[in-house]
């Protein structure tokens, strides 16, 4: 018998039964004693187009019921070496985005105080800013691998500093990032001006637009990421809209010409060897994908993130 928590197996309970936790893992109230934890942030009050990401964490958990503990592609067996549980959701104030930012930051301060690595189920992308604030307080400025269709570096949206299009501008302003070790991958679509993508480049960030990955593997790019980031603490933020809407239509701001699911797997698996201190998977909006496939892909990517933790 292992001393580590195990996902509930399909031969112990039918896949359509059992607890609605991530991978049907045990639940606990805090991150105490955990090497890594799954935590949800059911929020869409920072969205600018289609809502529904408040329902993302619940459906990601539901679609994770088919996941098994052993990674057949990479040989990773995270539940043989780490204590992992689902610690529930952050109790945001769904009527106040500004208050929710600080609620999230305080919640993650508590998680990080236990030395646990949080794997976050989103939720709109506003949430990454307060997480990075807590990360900086724990680890100092961090490297960043940001996979997204959008740069999310707006100075403001409708005059507001808090929105899902501003988190990385806010994180930069607060000194949360190691600017020479920031990668933005998958950016594409229309914009207002070249500065929409070039602002990050001006800060020393590496911006890889989606077209640079058309018809090719992402593995060489991830070799470059690993060489650049080195042993610095690094945060992985993965917006599901980085994927082409043919794969993941269930999100709020879709853009054609995106990444494939196999490129997404290459990117996450390519983070193996990095000093990952946290990860998130954001912007899953279940109402726009009644098949559940967007959430299923999100659940698989979160499992892959768990597999590459140091």
To the question of whether residue 150 is assigned a binding role by annotation, the answer is yes
Tell me the C-alpha distance between 185 and 207, whole Å: 6
Give the angle subtended at the CA of 169 by the CAs of 289 and 189, to the nearest 5°: 45
Q: Is 198 annotated as a binding residue?
A: no
- Whether 148 has a binding-site annotation, put simply, is yes
End-to-end, the C-alpha distance of the chain in Å comes to 24
Q: Is 152 annotated as a binding residue?
A: yes
| SS3 track for 1-53 | CCCCCCCCCCCCCCCCCCCCCHHHCCECCCCCCCCEEEEEECCCCCCCCCCCH
244 annotated to a ligand binding site: no
Residue 169: cis peptide before it, omega within 30 degrees of 0: no
Cα–Cα distance, 30 to 63 (Å, whole number):
23
| Residue ranges at the known binding site for Mn(2+) | 125, 148, 150, 152, 239, 241
| Residue ranges at the known binding site | 125, 148, 150, 152, 239, 241
């Amino acid at each position: 018998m292992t001393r580590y928590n195990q996902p509930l197996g399909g031969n112990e309970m039918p896949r359509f039964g059992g607890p609605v936790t991530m991978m049907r893992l045990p639940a606990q109230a805090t991150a105490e004693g955990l090497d890594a934890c799954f935590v949800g942030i059911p929020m869409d009050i920072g969205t600018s187009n289609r809502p529904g990401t408040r329902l993302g964490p619940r459906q990601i958990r539901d679609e994770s019921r088919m996941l098994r503990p052993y990674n057949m592609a990479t040989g990773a067996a995270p539940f043989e070496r780490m204590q992992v549980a689902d610690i529930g959701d952050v109790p945001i104030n769904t009527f106040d985005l500004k208050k929710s930012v600080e609620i999230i930051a305080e919640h993650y301060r508590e998680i990080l105080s236990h030395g646990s690595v949080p794997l976050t189920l989103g939720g709109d992308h506003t949430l990454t800013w307060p997480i990075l604030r807590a990360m900086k307080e724990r680890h100092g400025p961090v490297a960043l691998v940001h996979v997204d269709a959008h740069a999310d570096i707006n100075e403001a949206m409708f005059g507001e500093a808090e929105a899902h299009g501003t988190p990385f501008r806010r994180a930069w302003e607060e000194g949360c990032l190691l600017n020479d070790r920031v990668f933005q991958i998958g950016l594409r679509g229309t914009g207002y001006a070249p500065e929409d993508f070039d602002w990050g480049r001006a800060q020393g960030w590496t911006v890889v637009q989606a077209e640079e990955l058309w018809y090719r593997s992402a593995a060489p790019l991830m070799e470059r990421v690993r060489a650049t980031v080195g042993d610095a603490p690094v945060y992985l933020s993965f917006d599901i809209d980085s994927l082409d809407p043919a794969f993941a239509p269930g999100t709020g701001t879709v853009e054609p010409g995106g990444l494939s699911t196999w490129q997404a797997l290459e990117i996450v698996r390519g983070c193996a060897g990095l000093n990952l201190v946290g990860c998130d998977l954001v912007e899953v909006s279940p109402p726009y994908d009644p098949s559940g496939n967007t959430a299923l892909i999100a659940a698989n990517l979160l499992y892959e993130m768990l597999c590459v933790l140091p």
